[in-house]
Amino acid sequence: MVKSSKGIGLFLWWMVCVLATLTTRAQEVHWPKNRKAAIVLTYDDALRSQLKNAIPQLEHAGLKATFFLTSDIDSTTIPSWRKLAKEGYELGNHTLYHPCLAIEDNPAKSEKYTAYHMIREIEVMDRWLFAIDGKTTRTFAYPCAETFAGGRDYVDSLRKFHVVKYARIGGDSSNVITDFKNMDTLRVPSYGLDGGETGEKLIAFVKNVEKTGGLGVIMIHGVGGDYITISTEAHQQLMDYLHQHKKEIWVATFQQALDEVYRQVKRPKINIASTAQTH
Ligand SMILES: [Zn+2]
C-alpha cells in the first residue's frame, strides 16, 4: 500500500515534469519559402550615412530593411524616405525627440517625461510618418533602448494605448530569438551594434541565427559615417552574405517578420495585469 502510493506519487511527479517541459518548449516558426531562419536589419535615428551608404548597398543586394525615424527628417530627406517606403522599406517610429536618460548624450531627458507624454509623442510621430508613407500600422524602437519615462517603465502603458504594433528593445549578439511563444511583442530583443564590428562578426551572428532556425534583429546606426558606426566594407560583407544565402535566410522588415511569427504563434504569454484590458 505504501509502496503503490509512492509509485503513484512518482508517476504524478513524472507527469508534471513532462507537462512542464512541453509547455515551456519554444514554438518553432516555419519561415516563408522553407527558409531556415530570419534576419531583420534595423537602422536607427534617420542618419544621413544610412541614406548615402547603407541604402545603395541594400538596393544592390535586393534586401529590405526597417528605418526607425525621429523628427530628424526634413525637407531634404523626407522625399527619399517616402520613395524608400514605396519600394518596400519600412519606416518605423523612434519618437520625435529621442528622449533618453540624462546620462546619455541626448538633448531630451526622459526623466522629465511621464508615460503619457512619451506615448503622446509616439502618437504624433505615428501621424507624421502616416503623412509620409500612408501606413496606419507602425512599429517602434525605444530611444537608447530604454523603456523608462520619469524613471518608470512605460511598456504597459504603450500596450494599453495601441499606438504601435511591435516594439524593439536592445541587447547583444546572444539575442537569437527562438522562444516565440514567450516573447513580448513590445519587448522584441535585438543585437545592438557598438560600432566598429567587422563583417566577419556580423556574419557570425547571422550564422548563429541560422543554426537555431530563429529570428535575429540587428540594430544599426552609422554606416561609413555619423556615430556608432560600422564601416561600409563591414556592411557590404553582411549584404553579400545575406544575398548569397537568400534561399536559406529570410531578410524581412521588422513588421513582416513579427507578423509572420504571430500568424503562426497564437498568442505570446505576457505576464502583466493590463493585458486583459488591451484585447
Ligand atoms: Zn536612437
- Kindly state the DSSP code that residue 219 receives in the 8-state scheme: E
CA distance 10 to 154: 45
- In this prediction, residue 85 has a pLDDT band, given cuts at 50, 70 and 90, of very high
Query: Which one is predicted more confidently, 198 or 22?
Result: 198
Q: Could you tell me if residue 12 is inside a domain?
A: no
pLDDT at 22 over 80: no
Give Cα separations from 24 to 127, 213, 268 (angstroms). Answer: 39, 18, 12
Whether 262 shows a pLDDT value over 70: the answer reads: yes
DSSP for 67-114, written as a single string: EEE-S---TTTHHHHHHHHHTT-EEEE--SS--B-TTSS-SSBGGG--
Whole-number pLDDT of residue 106: 79
CATH number of the domain where residue 90 is located: 3.20.20.370
On whether residue 226 sits in a domain, the answer given is: yes
144 CA distance to ligand 1 middle (Å)? 5
Which amino acid is residue 19, in one-letter code? Answer: L
Judge whether 13 lies within some domain.
no
Q: Which residue has the higher pLDDT, 13 or 214?
A: 214
pLDDT band with cut points at 50, 70 and 90 for residue 132: very high
Asked if 67 and 41 touch (Cβ cutoff 8 Å), the reply is no
How remote is the CA of residue 236 from the centroid of ligand 1, in Å? Answer: 22
Residues 197 and 170: beta-carbon distance below 8 Å:
no
Taking only the tens place, the pLDDT of each residue in 226-239 is 999 999 999 999 99
8 lies in some domain: no
Distance between Cα 130 and ligand 1 center (Å): 20
Regarding beta strands 166-168 and 152-153, do their DSSP bridges make them parallel or antiparallel, or are they unpaired?
Answer: unpaired
Residue 7: inside a domain: no
Mean pLDDT for the chain overall: 90
17 C-alpha to center of ligand 1: Å?
A: 43
Q: What is the mean pLDDT of residues 178-190?
A: 94
Residue 26 has pLDDT above 90, yes or no: no
Distance 72 CA to ligand 1 centre (A): 11
Distance of CA 43 from the midpoint of ligand 1 (Å)? 9
Q: Ligand 1 center to residue 196 CA distance, Å?
A: 17
95 near 144, Cβ under 8 Å?
Answer: no
The confidence score (pLDDT) of residue 9 equals: 63
C-alpha span between 12 and 127 (Å, rounded) = 56
For residue 16, pLDDT beyond 70? no
**Alpha helices, DSSP H, located in the chain:** 2-24, 48-49, 55-61, 78-86, 115-133, 155-161, 199-212, 232-244, 254-264, 275-278
Distance 95 CA to ligand 1 centre (A): 9
Residue 9 lies in a domain: no
- What local confidence, expressed as pLDDT, does residue 146 receive? 96
Domain housing 56: 28-278
Q: Is residue 11 part of a domain?
A: no
Length of the chain: 279
Task: Report how far ligand 1's centroid is from the alpha carbon of 67 (Å).
Answer: 11
pLDDT of res. 122: 98
* Main-chain phi, psi angles of 80, to 5 degrees: -65, -45
What spacing in Å lies between the alpha carbon of 136 and ligand 1's midpoint?
22
Q: Which pLDDT does position 21 carry in this prediction?
A: 45
Tell how far the Cα of 199 is from the centroid of ligand 1, in angstroms.
22
Q: What is the pTM of this model?
A: 0.87
Mean pLDDT of 169-188: 95
Between the CA of 18 and the centroid of ligand 1 the distance, in Å, is: 43
Q: Confirm whether 43 is domain-assigned.
A: yes
- pLDDT of 257 higher than 70: yes
Q: Which residues surround ligand 1, an ion (CB under 5 A)?
A: 44-45
Position 104 scores a pLDDT of: 74
pLDDT at 87 over 90: yes
Q: Between 222 and 21, whose confidence is greater?
A: 222
Phi and psi of 256, rounded to 5°? Answer: -60, -45
Confidence at 272, pLDDT banded by 50, 70, 90: very low
Q: Which three cell numbers stand for residue 91?
A: 519606416
Q: How far is the CA of 4 from the centre of ligand 1 (A)?
A: 63
Domain count, the chain: 1
